[in-house]
């Protein structure tokens, strides 16, 4: 089945390329690539309790669109090596897979050879640079990824009274072609006056030669002497120069009452538009879309999903398609906690500051949904109920109605399994 399709696709593409190349040949001498076919990777996770497995297999656009096709990982799929869990990305051309072995303290690069075959090319230990075997990382473009980790240290007086917490930020740049490490830097960040401190940073995005990192906050509970999640009174991001990783400073906003974390979990949190503006979401209970222009928050941009949708919202990130339209997995926080199956896909319009809940027929558990791909102007997502059967959803940003999507291939999961995305 796959073979027929890929041959068919190849023929179509070659024909298409040949025909178009005939036109282009009149204008200039262009060397066309062997094939313009871009392999996509569908990825499934298994295990919601800390240690999880991650499987990947190749897939074509045709297969994803075919409502009669079924994608399964039963006895098929590449198990991405991990001690505890795997954090992966693919290159823009889909030919390379990059993975962080969470628990092993290593990053590795794999060449995609078709089907379920991924061949490891290089691996690099990041333990000495970042000081842990469990850092987080984000690929920011085809040449670079950033490794990040926050070290939290509480200090007490000699009378065992809690004083303050210092967060040390550790960053390292990964050169994705050689898989070697570039700049490595660490620096401290002090606690806010209200007791909130940074315990995690994630989901950086590049704007004007600077990295903007989302931040997760905590505060010490002095009665139990343990730190707990803290929303605080505003939202903040950490900005550093790239690639020197210097000139660190915090930017903050309270636009429309926005507050809480901005680091998300696995889903991308911030995206850059063609005009250079960055739009970021807050990721605690109470969801706001925040605008960052020239590395500072625009306080005049107020877009609160809670007000638009009429219930408490929470998200871990969103996906951008184009023309100000994006899609976000959003939890109805009035109906349940983030581990519950009360998440929906919401179409957000950054320009009109409106949001529409997509009518997928049911709600899902999407706390760990990681990636969606924009193909020919449409957003492809792989959504399944935990352990059940789901579909590929193809969202059309031109269609603002709750039914502005089509369904594609069927997706089979497995026990305690959920699709992580289409890469």
Partner 1 sequence: MIQKIRYILAVVLMLISGASCFAQQGTLKGDVQFKNGEVAVAVAIQLVGTEFRAMTDANGRFQLTNIPFGEYTIQLSSIEIEKTAFSQTIHKEEETISIIVNTSDKLLGETIVYGKTEVREVRDKGFAVSVIEPRNLELQSIQTNDLLDRTAGVRVRQSGGLGSEVNYNLNGLSGNSVKVFIDGIPIHNYGPSFSINSIPPAMIDRIEIFKGVVPVHLSDDALGGAINIILKKKMTNNFAVSYSYGSFNTHQSDFRGNYRNEKSGFTVNGGGFINYSDNNYKVWGDNVNVQLAPGAANTPVVAKRFHDRYRSQGVKMDLGFTNVKWADRLMIGGMFSNMDRQIQHGQSMKVVYGNRHMKSHSIMGNLEFVKRSIFKKLDVSTFASVSRLDRTTVDTIPTHYSWLGRETYYYNGTQPDVWVLGGGEAGRKSLLNDIDLNINSRTNLVYHINENNTLTFNHLLNTFERKSDDPMIPAAENAMREQRSFMKNILGLSYENVAFKQKLRTTVFGKGYFMERNASLRTKTGNGPNQIVNLKETNMTTQNYSFGGAISFKIIRQLMVMTSAERAVRLPEANEIFGIVAENIIANPELKPERSDNFNFGIEFNPDLPKHNVIFRPNIFIRNTNDLILRYNQGGYDQNLVSGNIGKVFTKGVDAELLYSFKRWLMVAVNGSIFDAQIHNTTLDPVSGEPVLTNKSRLPNTPYFTINSNFRIERPSLFAKGDLFIFHYNFLYVHEFLRRGTGLGGAGQTFIPTQMTHDTGVAYTFPKVRFTVSFDVRNLFNAQLFDNFALQKPGRGCYVKLTYSIF
67: tokens are: 């409502």
Please give the Cα distance from 75 to 127 (Å, whole number). Answer: 33
Selected binder of partner 1 within 65, 66, 94, 182 (CB under 8 A): 182
b/e 21-39 (16+ beta carbons within 10 angstroms → b): eeeeeeeeeeeeeeeebeb
Please give the Cα distance from 245 to 242 (Å, whole number). Answer: 5
Range in contact with partner 1 (rule: CB under 8 A) among 42-50, 250-258, 293-301, 347-355: 42-50
To partner 1, the closest distance from the beta carbon of 217 in angstroms equals: 12
Q: What is the footprint of partner 1 within residues 207-266 (CB under 8 A)?
A: 222-226, 229
240: tokens are: 């550093």
Q: Which is nearer to partner 1, 180 or 233 (CB)?
A: 180
Helix (H, G, I), strand (E, B) or coil at 255: helix
Asked if residue 417 binds partner 1 (CB under 8 A), the reply is: yes
Q: Is the backbone peptide bond immediately before 243 cis, with ω within 30 degrees of 0?
A: yes
Q: Which is nearer to partner 1, 264 or 397 (CB)?
A: 264
Q: Which is nearer to partner 1, 140 or 325 (CB)?
A: 140
Reported as type and span, the H/E element at residue 3 is helix 2-27
Q: Which is nearer to partner 1, 356 or 367 (CB)?
A: 367
Q: Which is nearer to partner 1, 227 or 302 (CB)?
A: 227
Selected binder of partner 1 within 7, 178, 244, 362 (CB under 8 A): 178
Please report how many Cα atoms fall inside a 13 Å half-sphere around the Cα of residue 365, on the Cβ side.
17
Strands 405-411 and 70-71 come out as: parallel
Q: What is the footprint of partner 1 within residues 336-355 (CB under 8 A)?
A: 336-342
b/e 312-343 (16+ beta carbons within 10 angstroms → b): ebbbbbbbbbeeebbbbbbbbbeeeebeebbb
Q: What is the footprint of partner 1 within residues 148-167 (CB under 8 A)?
A: 149, 151, 153-154, 156-157, 159-162
Please give the Cα distance from 123 to 106 (Å, whole number). Answer: 7
Q: Which is nearer to partner 1, 283 or 356 (CB)?
A: 283
Asked if residue 391 binds partner 1 (CB under 8 A), the reply is: no
Closest by alpha carbon to 170, among 150, 192, 198, 190? 150
Q: Which is nearer to partner 1, 59 or 394 (CB)?
A: 59
Q: Which is nearer to partner 1, 21 or 222 (CB)?
A: 222
Selected binder of partner 1 within 2, 9, 166, 168 (CB under 8 A): 168
Selected binder of partner 1 within 63, 101, 237, 384 (CB under 8 A): 101
Selected binder of partner 1 within 76, 111, 398, 401 (CB under 8 A): 76
123: tokens are: 């691996």
Range in contact with partner 1 (rule: CB under 8 A) among 177-185, 293-301, 305-313, 317-325: 177-185
Residues contacting residue 334 through CB under 8 Å, at least 6 positions apart:
311, 312
Asked if residue 88 binds partner 1 (CB under 8 A), the reply is: no
Closest by alpha carbon to 55, among 79, 76, 73? 79
Q: What is the footprint of partner 1 within residues 118-137 (CB under 8 A)?
A: 118, 122-125, 127-133
Asked if residue 397 binds partner 1 (CB under 8 A), the reply is: no
Please give the Cα distance from 71 to 77 (Å, whole number). Answer: 10
Asked if residue 416 binds partner 1 (CB under 8 A), the reply is: yes
Using CB under 8 A as the criterion, what x/- string covers residues 43-62 for binding partner 1?
A: -x-x-xxx--x-x-------
Q: Which is nearer to partner 1, 48 or 254 (CB)?
A: 48
Q: Can you list the alpha helix ranges (DSSP code H) found in 176-275? A: none
Using CB under 8 A as the criterion, what x/- string covers residues 272-291 for binding partner 1?
A: ------------x-------
Q: Which is nearer to partner 1, 100 or 292 (CB)?
A: 100
Scan for tokens 């009274």, then name that residue: 161
Contact (Cβ atoms closer than 8 angstroms) between residue 138 and residue 146 = yes
Reported as type and span, the H/E element at residue 106 is strand 106-112
């Amino acid at each position: 089945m796959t073979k027929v399709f890929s041959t068919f696709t190849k023929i179509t593409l070659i024909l298409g390329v040949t025909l178009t190349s005939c036109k282009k040949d009149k204008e200039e001498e262009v060397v066309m690539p062997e094939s313009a076919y871009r392999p996509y990777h569908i990825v499934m996770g298994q295990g919601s309790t800390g240690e999880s497995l991650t499987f990947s297999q190749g897939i074509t656009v045709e297969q994803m669109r075919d409502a009669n096709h079924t994608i399964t990982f039963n006895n098929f799929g590449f198990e991405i090596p991990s001690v505890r869990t795997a954090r992966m990305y693919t290159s823009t051309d889909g030919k390379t897979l990059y993975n962080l072995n969470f628990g092993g303290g290593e990053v590795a690069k794999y060449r995609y050879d078709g089907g379920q075959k991924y061949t490891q090319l290089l691996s690099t230990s990041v333990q000495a640079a970042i000081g842990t075997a469990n850092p987080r990382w984000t690929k920011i473009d085809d040449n670079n990824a950033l490794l990040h980790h926050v070290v939290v240290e509480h200090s007490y007086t000699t009378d065992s009274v809690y004083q303050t917490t210092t967060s040390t930020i550790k960053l390292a740049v990964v050169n994705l072609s050689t898989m070697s490490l570039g700049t490595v830097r660490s620096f401290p960040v002090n606690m806010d006056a209200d007791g909130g401190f940074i315990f995690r940073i994630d989901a950086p995005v590049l704007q004007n030669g600077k990295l903007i990192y989302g931040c997760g906050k905590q505060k010490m509970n002095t009665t139990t002497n343990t730190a707990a999640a803290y929303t605080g009174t505003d939202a903040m991001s950490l900005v550093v120069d790239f690639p020197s990783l210097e000139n660190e400073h915090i930017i903050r906003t309270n636009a429309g009452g926005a507050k809480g974390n901005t680091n998300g979990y696995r889903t991308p949190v911030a995206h850059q538009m063609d005009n250079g503006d960055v739009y970021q979401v807050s990721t605690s209970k109470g969801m706001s879309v925040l605008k960052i222009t020239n590395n500072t928050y625009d306080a005049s941009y107020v877009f609160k999903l809670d007000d638009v949708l009429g219930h408490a919202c929470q998200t871990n990130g969103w996906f951008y398609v184009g023309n100000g339209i994006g899609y976000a997995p959003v939890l109805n926080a009035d109906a349940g906690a983030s581990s519950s199956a009360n998440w929906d896909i919401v179409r957000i319009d950054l320009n009109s500051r409106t949001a529409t809940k997509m009518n997928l027929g049911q709600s899902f558990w999407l706390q760990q949904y990681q990636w969606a791909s924009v193909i020919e102007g449409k957003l492809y997502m792989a959504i399944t109920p935990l352990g059940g059967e789901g579909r590929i959803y193809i969202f059309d940003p031109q269609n603002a109605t709750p039914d502005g999507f089509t369904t594609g291939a069927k997706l089979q999961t497995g026990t305690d399994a959920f699709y992580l995305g289409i890469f």
